[in-house]
């Protein structure tokens, strides 16, 4: 009888421990060892965009995903795992990237993601690796030279973006024309239906390279610092990524990749921390 009582006691204790979450892996906090897991796995999985020219886009001619951010992640895989081919890319967009990161489907996000206080509540970020800012795209012969010149002009942007409101804040008399996406907005500009197009200059640069009949004007009237997204708690991985970015900036690799894609020298004052970020971008 005592033997059975002892067995029942052990079982009861095991059930109690499990109920309290003592052995539930899902309830355990992040260990910060994702860096070690990546090394053991021998593969780095990164979420990038497939539709943003210059940063991450799938080339329809050869099916390869290319861009500045793709090359950055290839260099990271090379330095971390010894071979850039040990990088696996997964397509993300603005709606899916954080969900995929926090769900464990990807290790990092490198997808034109602005560092903001709102997003910092969901993910951690690397240092700034690209400083974008809202600007204007106009035809080469346009009289528009600055934001002030959009007074009374039709300016295209995408529905759901903050770009229209940002422009209105600095030029209330601009006539904002909304389109389903930036591709449609660019089509309207090329058809002469609007006088200018506004969004992050990083996106506008891709459009300008696709069609040299257009140019960027007006400088940046917002600041959009891009950072690499890292799941919260992974401090070792965050530290490694930050050191990687510091290293490639210092050894000139960053500059070479920047010039390759943007056909100009990189900024000399790229900040480490996000400054004046637009929280809704």
Residues in Cβ contact with 274 at an 8 Å cutoff, skipping those fewer than 6 apart: 114, 115, 116, 125, 128, 225, 227
Q: What would the pLDDT profile of 241-274 be if each residue is shown by its tens digit?
A: 999 999 999 999 999 999 999 888 998 878 887 6
- Give me the chain's average pLDDT, please: 86
Domains and CATH numbers, the chain: 34-132+224-262 (3.40.190.10), 134-217 (3.40.190.10)
- Provide Rg for the chain, Cα atoms: 24
Structure pTM? Answer: 0.73
Is the pLDDT score of 278 beyond 50?
no
Rounded to 5 degrees, φ, ψ at 213 are -80, 0
Is the pLDDT score of 5 beyond 50?
no
**pLDDT the model gives residue 10:** 46
Query: By the 8 A CB rule, do 165 and 182 touch?
Result: no
* Average pLDDT of span 47-58: 90
- Could you tell me where the beta strands, DSSP code E, fall in 148-281? 154-158, 175-179, 196-200, 214-217, 224-230
């Amino acid at each position: 009888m005592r033997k059975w009582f002892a067995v029942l006691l052990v079982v009861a204790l095991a059930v109690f421990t499990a109920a309290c979450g003592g052995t539930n892996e899902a309830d355990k906090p992040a260990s910060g060892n994702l860096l070690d897991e990546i090394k053991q796995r021998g593969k780095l999985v990164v979420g990038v965009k497939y539709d943003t020219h210059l940063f991450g886009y799938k080339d329809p001619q050869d099916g390869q995903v290319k861009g500045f951010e793709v090359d950055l992640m290839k260099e990271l895989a090379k330095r971390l795992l010894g071979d850039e081919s040990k990088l696996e890319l997964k397509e993300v967009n603005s709606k899916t990237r954080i969900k995929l990161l926090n769900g464990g489907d990807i290790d990092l996000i490198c997808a034109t993601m602005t560092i903001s206080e709102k997003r910092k509540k969901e993910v951690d970020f690397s240092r700034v690796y690209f400083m974008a800012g809202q600007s204007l795209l106009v035809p080469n012969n346009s009289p528009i030279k600055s934001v002030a010149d959009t007074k009374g002009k039709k300016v295209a942007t995408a529905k759901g973006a903050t770009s229209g409101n940002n422009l209105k804040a600095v030029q209330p008399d601009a006539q904002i024309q909304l389109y389903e996406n930036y591709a449609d907005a660019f089509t309207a500009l090329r058809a002469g239906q609007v006088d200018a197009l506004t969004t992050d200059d990083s996106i506008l640069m891709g459009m300008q390279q696709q069609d040299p009949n257009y140019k960027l004007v007006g400088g940046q009237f917002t600041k959009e610092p891009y950072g690499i997204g890292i799941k919260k708690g992974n401090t070792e991985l965050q530290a490694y990524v930050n050191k990687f970015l510091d290293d490639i900036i210092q050894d000139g690799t960053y500059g070479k990749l920047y010039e390759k894609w943007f056909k100009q020298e990189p900024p000399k004052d790229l900040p480490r921390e996000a400054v004046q970020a637009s929280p809704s971008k």
